[in-house]
Amino acid sequence: MIKRLALIGIAGAVAALAAPQEAAKSEALPKAETILDRSIEVTGGKAAYQKRTSEITTGTMEFAAQGLKGAVMQYSAPPDKSYTVIELEGIGKIESGTIDGMAWDKNAMTGPHVKSGEEKTQALREATFNSSLNWRQLYPKVETVGVATVDGEECYKVLMTPAEGKPVTAYFQKKSGLAVKREMVAVNQMGEIQMEVIVSEYKDFGGILAPTKMINRAAGQEFMMTIQSVKTNEEIPADKFDPPAEIKALLKK
């Protein structure tokens, strides 16, 4: 869930801050596989993830410095179907989606856009349903690269490399096993943007613990997402994932 709610490319977004303080390098580090599997267990366990067939998330987004607020709604289903709509006051509607190996977005500022290349690959990876459970499929190479402090808590630093595209660095608390931070390079129409996402305030939604507060930083900007509800295993109409007419027109060209 953390990866989808980072909303890469949707908000236009945001450059990472300085790296967290590194801890002593002499520590014997656990394998990355152990850390990632523990994260699955502490958030609910494999069986709980496997029971999920759909997800409907609602929340809010706020750009405090700009005085912008808005509502967020996201629909997700296997294997990588997604539709996200953000309605920002004074800006309008921002939409994005993935279906059948295709990824797109549409907003008033940049118009309709069908993603290709690394931007498409990244969007489809981020939209993978139950991505936390399916990390082996998404990131064939993982390694523990150190220990760092995030918000006063010592964390293991795990480098996750996909088969295609740029690696992601994830931070997991030593004590709880929960993911608390993610660093990555987001690819969009404007190019490549270094991005940092800090997550907190985990709550139980349908047997899975998920963060409800996400602070996203990139390109000198910061915005916060707050999750209000996550409904699972509800029927989502098939046409909810259909791209809008403007995207279909681009696909025909």
Residue-wise pLDDT for 111-166, tens only, equals 999 999 999 999 999 999 999 999 999 999 999 999 999 999 999 999 999 999 99
CA dist., res. 91 & res. 228, Å (int): 22
Does the domain spanning 2-228 belong to CATH 1.10.3470? no
CA dist., res. 41 & res. 97, Å (int): 29
How much of the chain exceeds pLDDT 90, in percent?
82
Residue-wise pLDDT for 10-22, tens only, equals 444 333 333 344 4
Q: Is 50 exposed, middle or buried (0-12, 13-18, 19+ CB in 10 A)?
A: exposed
Residue-wise pLDDT for 51-93, tens only, equals 999 999 999 999 998 899 999 999 999 999 999 999 998 889 9
User: pLDDT at position 109, please?
Assistant: 83
How does residue 110 score in pLDDT terms, banded at 50, 70 and 90? confident
pLDDT greater than 80 at residue 4: no
- 191 in Cβ contact with 18 (< 8 Å): no
Q: What residues does each domain of the chain span?
A: 2-228
* pTM strictly above 0.85: yes
How much of the chain exceeds pLDDT 70, in percent?
89
Q: How far is CA 135 from CA 31, 110, 144, 221, 241, in A?
A: 14, 32, 15, 29, 24
